[in-house]
């Protein structure tokens, strides 16, 4: 062996910096891997009932987030229709959890039985 020390890219630049919170590093890592939507979706799933209220949460659950569109699965077509009328309000509420611009639209799909 040549005695060369292997280093992760950027390791030398990080010397002398104070430690960072795990969440900061994970946020950067998920963004670099194109997984930032997963982190936002996780935040939304965990705060869903508080965000949309118990009545809506009993009939609608977030399933996917892609390109700032949140796919929400609903019990019936009637719930999909009702939530389409509330979409602008839901975008505002979701922004309080996910951050502004993370979700800009919804897609409502009826759960298969």
Question: For residues 53 and 2, which has the higher predicted lDDT (pLDDT)?
Answer: 53
Dist CA 103 CA 54 (whole Å)? 20
Do the Cβ atoms of 59 and 79 come closer than 8 Å? yes
22-35 pLDDT, tens digit each: 656 666 665 565 55
Backbone angles phi, psi at 3, to 5 degrees: 80, 5
Beta strand pairing call for 60-66 and 69-74:
antiparallel
Domain 11-110, second-level architecture: 2-Layer Sandwich (3.30)
| Whole-structure pTM value | 0.69
Residue 36, pLDDT above cutoff 80: no
DSSP conformation letters of 62-99: EEEEETTEEEEEESSHHHHHHHHHTHHHHHHHHHHHH-
């Amino acid at each position: 062996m040549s005695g060369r020390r292997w280093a992760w890219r950027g390791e030398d630049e990080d010397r002398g910096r104070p430690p960072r919170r795990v969440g900061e590093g994970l946020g950067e890592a998920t963004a670099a891997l194109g997984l930032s939507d997963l982190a936002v979706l996780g935040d939304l799933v965990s705060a869903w009932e508080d965000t949309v209220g118990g009545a809506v949460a009993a009939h609608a659950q977030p399933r996917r987030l892609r390109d700032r569109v949140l796919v929400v699965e609903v019990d019936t077509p009637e719930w999909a229709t009702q939530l389409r009328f509330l979409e602008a309000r839901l975008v505002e509420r979701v922004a309080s959890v996910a951050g502004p611009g993370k979700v800009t639209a919804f897609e409502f799909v009826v759960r298969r039985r």
